[in-house]
Amino acid sequence: MRGLMNKLVSRSLSVAGKWQQQQLRRLNIHEYQGADLMNKYGINVPKGVAVSSIDEVKEAVKSAFPNENELVVKSQILAGGRGLGTFQNGFKGGVHIVKADQVEDIAGKMLGQILVTKQTGPQGKVVSKVYVCEKLSLVNEMYFAITLDRKTAGPLIIACSKGGTSIEDLAEKYPDMIIKVPVDVFKGITDEDAAMVVDGLAPKVADRNDSIEQVKKLYKLFCERDCTLLEINPLAETSSNQLVAADAKLNFDDNAAFRQKEIFALRDPSQEDPREVAAAKADLNYIGLDGEIGCMVNGAGLAMATMDIIKLHGGTPANFLDVGGNASEGQVVEAFKILTSDDKVKAILVNIFGGIMKCDVIASGIVNAAKQVALKVPVVVRLEGTNVDQGKRILKESGMTLITAEDLDDAAEKAVKAASK
């Protein structure tokens, strides 16, 4: 997600000086999927075909673009900065404009390869598909987005007469060029709202009324599909005087999965952290970090405090993991499997304050996890609250080698010491 939108639709998780972006309640889909969805709503998009093999590339060029001399080949990953990215095989650039007879060769250097961009981290993301598109003759590039705004408690349309480049840089250099139009979520978008957006875009050749209709269709998609973000950069004008969504990013509210089954069927788990995918299936709140102490805590506030105290004692948390207030033994087992799957984890700290979550359930889960998972790292356990005596007895009678702690400070200190051995 691009930086300006990040500030509006995601939050940062601060871990004692380190920042980890948390994707907050949103499904992310590929560019080709977003283009297909917009096309269904009557929004102008470039003609394109998503392919996953060289044979499909050949067929796409032959059947979909028989008369095109040049085409655009775009790697499909769920991260920005593709054009300036580098593949681990040495090939540079995840987006290329090439002659039609070169598409097969370029696509072959992308498919199945790992693309590293400024947003993927050094591990990169695998390119399973490439998007082969028509090359448009663009005469003007603008910026358009719809997001959710806390201040106005509704959708906010952001428009700029310049686009195709970093919106953050434009916002810094030319703040007066960016307009924001809040939309009354109960009334919906009016002709006046849409006209105000078009005035902010300041199209040079596209018909004004047609442009207003395109804005209204984009808003309709945003609302009907429970989007948290719809960003088009650039929203472009072509030499045929048409307004086209040349590149788009769409995110959707995870809470709407029950009524957006078609959309959520598009989820691509291969683009997500496998630990977070496993945690979601087990209904656990997990965010992977890059430290050495795995944490299993009940309650988000206690989890944050645990990570802070680990850092205070000189350690670094490997994750944020909240098992919630009513986790089952099975969920505790899954939590341990996720923690132990991280090779960087040198110690595990279990910090449970039993309220709704009972200490004996956690203890039984730890014992069962030890039977299923080869625990090769020290485990520090601090239990307090409901059924704490039963929990401590279960752990003692299990015969497991555990490091017990009396309070959170003691637990963090022992975890840091155990991880450093």
User: Is 219 a known active-site residue?
Assistant: no
Q: What pLDDT was estimated at residue 266?
A: 94
Would you place residue 238 in the very low, low, confident or very high pLDDT band (cuts 50, 70, 90)?
very high
pLDDT tens across 20-33, in order?
333 345 789 999 99
Q: Which of 231, 276, 334, 413 is catalytic?
A: 231
Asked if the model's pLDDT at residue 402 lies above 90, the reply is no
357 labeled binding residue: yes
Indicate the range of 37-41, 231-235, 369-373 predicted with least confidence: 369-373
Would you place residue 11 in the very low, low, confident or very high pLDDT band (cuts 50, 70, 90)?
very low
Q: What pLDDT was estimated at residue 7?
A: 41
Measured distance CA(67)–CA(4) in Å, rounded = 39
Measured distance CA(367)–CA(359) in Å, rounded = 12
Measured distance CA(297)–CA(171) in Å, rounded = 40
When pLDDT is averaged across residues 246-272 and rounded to a whole number, the result is 91
Output the six-digit token pair for 255.
């809470």
Share of the chain above pLDDT 90, in %: 60
Asked if the model's pLDDT at residue 3 lies above 70, the reply is no
Q: Which of 32, 131, 143, 219 is catalytic?
A: 143
Please state the pTM of the whole predicted model.
0.75
Asked if the model's pLDDT at residue 374 lies above 60, the reply is yes
Q: What pLDDT was estimated at residue 272?
A: 80
When pLDDT is averaged across residues 294-313 and rounded to a whole number, the result is 91
Secondary structure class of 187 (helix, strand, coil): coil
pLDDT tens across 76-98, in order?
999 888 988 999 999 999 999 99
301 labeled binding residue: no
When pLDDT is averaged across residues 244-261 and rounded to a whole number, the result is 93
Q: How far apart are the first and last CA of the chain?
A: 39
When pLDDT is averaged across residues 176-187 and rounded to a whole number, the result is 94
83 labeled binding residue: yes
User: Is 231 a known active-site residue?
Assistant: yes
Composition of the chain by helix, strand, coil, percent to 5: 40, 25, 35
276 labeled binding residue: no
Asked whether 368 and 333 are in contact (CB, 8 A), the reply is: yes
Query: Locate tokens 């978008």: which residue?
Result: 189
Asked if the model's pLDDT at residue 371 lies above 60, the reply is yes
355 labeled binding residue: yes
298 labeled binding residue: yes
pLDDT tens across 63-76, in order?
999 999 999 999 99
- What does the DSSP assignment read for 53-120? SHHHHHHHHHHH-TT-SEEEEEE--SSS-GGG-EETTS-B-SEEEEEGGGHHHHHHHHTTPEEE-TTT
Q: What pLDDT was estimated at residue 22?
A: 39
What rounded mean pLDDT belongs to the chain?
Answer: 88
Asked if the model's pLDDT at residue 17 lies above 60, the reply is no
Asked whether 146 and 219 are in contact (CB, 8 A), the reply is: yes
Domains in the chain, ordered, with CATH? Answer: 47-135 (3.30.1490.20), 138-264 (3.30.470.20), 273-420 (3.40.50.261)
Asked if the model's pLDDT at residue 9 lies above 60, the reply is no
When pLDDT is averaged across residues 129-148 and rounded to a whole number, the result is 95
Q: What pLDDT was estimated at residue 5?
A: 44
255 labeled binding residue: no
Asked whether 362 and 384 are in contact (CB, 8 A), the reply is: no
Q: What pLDDT was estimated at residue 241?
A: 93
Would you place residue 341 in the very low, low, confident or very high pLDDT band (cuts 50, 70, 90)?
confident
pLDDT tens across 149-171, in order?
999 999 999 999 998 877 777 78
Pick the residue with more confidence: 300 or 161?
161
When pLDDT is averaged across residues 205-216 and rounded to a whole number, the result is 96
Secondary structure class of 182 (helix, strand, coil): strand
